[in-house]
Structure 1
Amino acid sequence: MSLRLKFNLVLAGVLLLAVAGAGLYVHRFLQQSAIEEVQHNSQIMMHAAMAIRDYTTELVKPHLDVTLAEKFLPQTVPAYAATETLRRLQNRFPGYEYKEAVLNPTNLRDRANEWEERIISDFREGRADLKKEVTGEVGEGMHRALYVARPITIKQPQCMACHSAPAVAPPTMLKVYGDNNGFGWGMNETVGIQVVKVPMYFPLEKARQTFNTVMAALVGSFVLLFVGLNLSLSSLVIEPMARLNRKLEDLATKDFLTDLVNRRRFFERLEAEMADTRVKKGNLSVVMFDIDFFKRINDTFGHDSGDVVLKSTALRVRELLRSSDCAARFGGEEFIILLKETP
């Protein structure tokens, strides 16, 4: 396994672990942020509903109660005012809902549905704390929403004027809603819930898109890092080491003067070729020769001239050999040649 491959495997493993770890953290962070945003929006809606109720009770109802004998105005009812005001938000913010869900409502549009009845039942039977809100999720897919519910418990005696019995209710109210619904309530009775629904799809979809963008940028950055490190590794480490290895290989296997292989390398090659020839039942020849009067050349013209003769001889030998053959300097002025497929 090459150094580059080892480095790339380690680097790829580290980067994959980094991407996986970062992806897990970013995904959890964005999901949590989206849920917190939904919870924040639901609290805003709930407090807005309570503010509208208080405003209606304190500043609207006292001025319009004097007309109750002549005409019943639903706008004076805090629950009606909060519901109608927040209903107008749905045109600009689809999925944002506020409802005062009641088991036995005066206005039938406020009747609790199945899952709202379960929450009311939890409050009435003590499975939920009357002093706390209840939160949860309802719906699936694009209709998945977070809800916040508060109990509607009768605490004010004024409420009994309209909800105890038809006989004591304002006649003008009976003309609008009739005498079949919204009666029989008792003091300290939990009759329903204030419930806010905020859609989760859009914040979660935004979180998903942000996650995809972040991961794409992260993966792109890691790819650039991977390529950059590989280029740096090649230019600063691998190529210099390869050149050094080639030099060391040459020093270990070649004759420094003639650039032919040395005796040790030649005999390694000869042993391998002989084994291969025995298996294939082929032919193999070894030729030895030397340079005549080489000592006279050294003595007459000097060792530098002798070296030139050795180099020229080696060059001529290489030119005549096939790529499958092998030549070596055996020692001094002696040379040896391995000829494959040669009888």
Structure 2
Amino acid sequence: MSLRLKFNLILLLAFVASLAGAGWYYSGHLERQALDEVRHNSDLMMETALAIRGYTTDQVKPHLDPLLAEKFLPQTVPAFAATETLRRLSDKYQGYVYKEAVLNPTNPRDRATDWEAKLIDSFRSDAAKQELTGVHGEGINRAVYIARPITIKNQACLACHSDPAVAPPSMLKVYGDKNGFGWKMGETVGMQIVKVPMLYPLERARQSFNTFIWSLVAIFGLAFIVLNAALSLLVIEPMARVNRKLEDLATKDFLTDLVNRRRFFERLEQEMAASRLNGQAVSVIMFDLDFFKRINDTFGHDSGDSVLKHTAIRVRELLRASDCAARFGGEEFIILLKETGIDAAMALAEVVRQKIAGKPYENVGAVSASFGVAQWNGAEDGRELINRADKALYVAKQNGRNRVIRADD
């Protein structure tokens, strides 16, 4: 696994973990904020209803009460005023509801539903309980509610709700004498309830969450690109250059820039394995510069090194990209030819011999080389193949040097 891949995997895992943690926290935070906003709106709506009731009681009812003998005016009823005012609000803002739910109401529209009746019973069973809050409904209809008990504390309320006989005739004419009577002092007869929908704040929270997550993704994407660029520039490329240098030092001869003995054997084993599969021939050419010791003794080691370098250059000029040339040791060289039979290898060896002998070397003059050529027989190992080529090279030396000899099969 490459360094870049490891780095990116770690970076990706860190991002996913961070994104999951931030998403979990921020989602909860936004939802709590949305709920707080809904509860605040619920409190505000409840206080608005109470303000309307109080204003109706103090400022409207005293002026209209004298008219009740002739005609019942529901506007004098605080509950009616609050309900009607906030109903107009709900016409514009869907889902915002205010209701004075009563078990036995005068106005049928105020009758408590089964769910509301359960809340009222909860207030009736515990007189100390002054508020209930929670979430009601499902899906887009989910709403936060606040409920407060309606308890008869004012004797004036019983004038209309204790007994039909004492109720204003004008009210009986409108609503009849069957409902809204029998209330008693201290009795909890219903509740005020407001509902504020959660859909809008939660939708805003969801949009904020999506914006936050996509912002994190964009930031990570930018950081990913910048970090990868920095990784390439500051780490991978310098390491790659160092690795290439180390690879060269480990596999190449420092003087001739040909591969060294160890690397040559690795290539030879690879080509032999490939030959077993595809049946193609593999050949080697070994050659040794003639009288090289005399060059060192006569012209010095610097001149001898120069001969080795230029010999490597002349050999590389004649080889294919798939071939491999190595300095085998001292003044001895070896060439690996893939997919090449003995006849073609002999011909190439002769071309190399002529290339070396055909042009004098600077400060040294004419230099020759002796060659041994062998084709792998498919059974021997690499060292046995090289030994056969080396024996052929030895025969070339014995037969007068500067020649190419084919190894015995």
Distance 1:275 1:32 in 2: 69
What TM-score do the two structures reach when normalised by structure 1?
0.93
1:166 shift after superposition: 0.5
Structure 1 counterpart of 2:327, from 326, 329, 340: 329
Structure 2 SS opposite 1:168: coil
1:340 shift after superposition: 2.8
Please name the residue that 1:266 is paired with: 264
Gaps of 5+ in 2: 342-374, 376-409
Distance 2:273 2:172 in 1: 115
Structure 1 SS opposite 2:317: helix
Amino acid at match of 2:95: G
Amino acid at match of 1:60: V
Q: Which has the larger radius of gyration?
A: 2
Please name the residue that 2:38 is paired with: 38
Amino acid at match of 1:5: L
Amino acid at match of 1:92: K
Q: State which drifts further: 314-323 or 184-193.
A: 314-323
Structure 2 SS opposite 1:228: helix
Please name the residue that 1:84 is paired with: 84
Matches within 5 A, 1:190-339: 190-274=188-272, 277=275, 283-339=281-337
Structure 1 SS opposite 2:327: strand
Count how many residue pairs are aligned between Structure 1 and Structure 2.
341
Distance 1:275 1:170 in 2: 114
1:300 shift after superposition: 4.4
Note the alpha carbon deviations across 1:286-340, whole angstroms, 9 max, x for none.
3211222333444444433333322221122223223333211112221112223
Q: State which drifts further: 67-76 or 204-213.
A: 67-76
Query: Is the Cα–Cα contact under 8 Å of residues 263 and 330 in structure 1 kept in the other structure?
Result: yes
1:182 aligns with 2:158: no
1:122 shift after superposition: 2.0
Please name the residue that 1:56 is paired with: 56
Distance 1:2 1:290 in 2: 42
1:4 shift after superposition: 0.9
Please name the residue that 1:11 is paired with: 11
Structure 2 SS opposite 1:285: strand
Distance 1:27 1:319 in 2: 69
Structure 1 SS opposite 2:26: helix
Query: Is the Cα–Cα contact under 8 Å of residues 123 and 130 in structure 2 kept in the other structure?
Result: no
Q: State which drifts further: 106-115 or 7-16.
A: 106-115
Distance 1:275 1:76 in 2: 106
Matches within 5 A, 1:71-150: 71-126=71-126, 130-150=128-148
What TM-score do the two structures reach when normalised by structure 2?
0.79
Q: State which drifts further: 8-17 or 178-187.
A: 178-187
Amino acid at match of 1:326: C
Query: Is the Cα–Cα contact under 8 Å of residues 134 and 150 in structure 1 kept in the other structure?
Result: yes
1:65 shift after superposition: 2.0
Please name the residue that 1:66 is paired with: 66
Query: Is the Cα–Cα contact under 8 Å of residues 123 and 129 in structure 2 kept in the other structure?
Result: no
Query: Is the Cα–Cα contact under 8 Å of residues 130 and 151 in structure 1 kept in the other structure?
Result: no
Give the root-mean-square deviation of aligned CA atoms: 1.9
Distance 1:281 1:80 in 2: 103
Amino acid at match of 1:85: T
Note the alpha carbon deviations across 1:49-77, whole angstroms, 9 max, x for none.
11111222222222322322233221111
Amino acid at match of 2:315: V
Please name the residue that 2:355 is paired with: none
1:136 shift after superposition: 2.0
